[in-house]
Structure 1
Amino acid sequence: MRKIKAKKITLESFKEFGEFYSYLRPTGNNFGIFYPDTIKYPVSGNIPVAFSAMVNEKPEKYIVSAVEYHNYTCEIILPLDDDIIVHVAPCAKNIVPEKTEAFIVPKGTAVKINTGVWHKAPMPVHNDRVHMLIVLPERTYMNDINVVEYKEEDKIEITI
């Protein structure tokens, strides 16, 4: 099993995989107390954007044993009550575990994962569980999700 170290998320280090914005420390264009259009979420057709809750438990070890991607949409993840570890690998036809990177995302910071980027559910850093807001087009989890379970030799352990 390979090990990778989770690193602090920065604009430069994450740009291949998407973008992020801190909603607890907003910056940039504003109209007083309102900061508009901080992350743009493109959608097509008549499909509504859905806001979903996710609660994930802190594992004994941060092991990546499976990954997923979406063909037709990006995904937004907003950790509400803890920092999270997000693991991502570049868009590719087949799995690329050797290209996996892990990032520590501060609570209150929304992360947009680009279409086709390999990822899976984030994990809490400090607390026993983390509550997250997930933004996807309605029913993406049923009609645009491709999940691959890793073979033992492809599994990855993330360290902090």
Structure 2
Amino acid sequence: MKLQIEKMTAENSKEFGTLLSIKEKDAAYKGDDFSFFKNLAEIEFNENIGFSLVETHMDTTVEISWLERHLSSSELIIPSDKNIVLVLGSGEKTADLSTLRALEVEVGTAFSVSRNVWHFAPISCSDTTNVFILLNQSTPDCDLEKIDCESIGLTV
């Protein structure tokens, strides 16, 4: 099964989290040197934040061999220099493959993945891309549920 990539919008991503973007937003402060957009989203972190980086490499086809979710924490994903694709889905005990979407996140925006949302690592749209990840410091060790999808043949 091949997922088709769609541009991420606030509407098509709302069941998975919050798109942080200044499109169609008014600046709280606008001056000659900069504009300040405050409170684009409220993201709940309940401990020290781990600031991590994923270096993702472009490939013509990416196999989605696993999916993960965090039961009690959110994850903020910020592309640094190029657009990325996030594979996101819902499901109670395991991922419901019929809900999976491949959504392209533009540079200059960010996406907050809600708790319990199944997701794959960020996928580069071109070349090597660095992606900043903010989440509770203990999440990778204590709040990570992962499932194997290799036998499904799911690709982007």
TM-score (norm 1): 0.87
Which is richer in strand?
Answer: 1
RMSD, matched Cα:
1.7
Q: What is the match of residue 4 of structure 1?
A: 3
Deviation digits for residues 73-124 of structure 1 (CA, Å, limit 9, x no counterpart): 1111000111001000114212222321110111121001110000011111
Ranges in structure 2 where 5+ consecutive residues have no aligned partner: none
Q: Distance in 1 between matches of 2:49 and 2:132?
A: 13
Ranges in structure 1 where 5+ consecutive residues have no aligned partner: none
User: How many pairs were matched up?
Assistant: 152
Q: What is the match of residue 63 of structure 2?
A: 63
Q: Distance in 1 between matches of 2:51 and 2:13?
A: 23
CA contact (8 A) 1:97 1:155 kept: no
Q: Secondary structure at the match of 1:36?
A: coil
Q: What is the match of residue 35 of structure 1?
A: 37
Q: Distance in 1 between matches of 2:95 and 2:119?
A: 10
Q: What is the match of residue 144 of structure 1?
A: 143
1:42 maps to a residue whose letter is E
Q: Distance in 2 between matches of 1:143 and 1:131?
A: 24
1:140 maps to a residue whose letter is T
Runs of 4+ with >6 A deviation: none
Q: What is the match of residue 20 of structure 1?
A: 19
Q: What is the match of residue 155 of structure 1?
A: 153
Q: Distance in 1 between matches of 2:111 and 2:91?
A: 16
Question: What are the within-5 Å matches in structure 2 for residues 103-118 of structure 1?
Answer: 103-118=103-118
Q: Distance in 1 between matches of 2:13 and 2:52?
A: 24
Identity %: 24
1:155 maps to a residue whose letter is G
Question: What are the within-5 Å matches in structure 2 for residues 78-157 of structure 1?
Answer: 78-126=78-126, 128-152=127-151, 154-157=152-155
Deviation digits for residues 22-59 of structure 1 (CA, Å, limit 9, x no counterpart): 36x68334122221111211123xx1122212111112
CA contact (8 A) 1:89 1:96 kept: yes
